[in-house]
Amino acid sequence: MSKVESVNKWDLNRIVFIGRTWDEYMRMFGLTKEDLVGRKILDCPAGACSFTAVSNQLGMDVTACDIAYYLPIEQLEQKGLQDIETTMSNMERADIQKNFLWDYFKSVDELKQIRTQAMNQCISDMKRNKNRYISAVLPTLPFDDKQFDLTLSANFLFLYEDKLDYEFHLQTIKELMRVTKDEVRIFPTTNFACERYKYLDKLISDIHNLGWMTEEIKVPYEFQKNTNTMLKIMR
């Protein structure tokens, strides 16, 4: 059985290959360019984000990893385009649209254009720099201890509170910390219903018991309503 076939809970049909832009990442994680320069950074899971592509063009050192990278690039590109279509037609629904603030993106059309651009940048960079895009199945990562200075994890863990259980969250955070020297940042701390992850206090207490420090930080990015906080975990 291949690695992808063996993945439980998530099969490829359930993976949405969609991604945010470099500017969204900078806001979601409260980052400045100075935070990135001279540091080895991991984006996990990175999906179809343009963060790795743009950062590396700016001379930074970013690696992306995701379960979806097991797929051939052409298949990923097709899947990404289909996923954007499906997601955007859902976004046209009034009951879904009302969960979002339309100031950063002005319309579903603009959102679609920006998501498509992010995916195209990701795919083009992947074709040129395949070694920057590593396939991995959380909660295990194919990296050395403290290989990265900073690890970013966006729109995955707590958002999927209904599909990923507490143990998965804790094991994933331990693994992200294992491969990271300084700090891990996770955005958001809420689920799809825009509610704070219900086990966040327990998780923070378990993280402290492992000897790490945490900070919940409000960031200058709120697209999904009430979704503007990241969790920072530091050694």
Ligand X SMILES: C[S@@+](CC[C@H](N)C(=O)[O-])C[C@H]1O[C@@H](n2cnc3c(N)ncnc32)[C@H](O)[C@@H]1O
Residue labelled with tokens 């795919």: 123
> Amino acid letter at 171?
Q
- Residues 155-194 within binding reach of ligand X (CB under 6 A): 155-156
Q: Is there binding between residue 19 and ligand X (CB under 6 A)?
A: yes
Least CB distance from residue 211 to ligand X, whole Å? 25
Task: Tell me the chain's radius of gyration from C-alpha atoms.
Answer: 17
Determine the Cα–Cα distance for residues 48 and 44; give it in Å rounded to an integer.
11
What is residue 171's DSSP assignment? H
- Residues 43-72 within binding reach of ligand X (CB under 6 A): 45-47, 49, 66-68
Q: Is there binding between residue 227 and ligand X (CB under 6 A)?
A: no
Comparison of 96 and 213: residue with beta carbon closer to ligand X: 96
Q: Which of 71, 126, 137, 219 binds ligand X (CB under 6 A)?
A: 137
Least CB distance from residue 156 to ligand X, whole Å? 5
- Residue 178: which of 209, 217, 151 has the closest Cα? 151
Residues 3-31 as b or e (16 or more Cβ within 10 Å = b) = ebeebeebeeeebbbbbbbbebbbbbbbb
Q: Is there binding between residue 154 and ligand X (CB under 6 A)?
A: yes
Interface residues with ligand X (CB under 6 A) are 10, 15-17, 19-20, 45-47, 49, 66-68, 136-138, 154-156
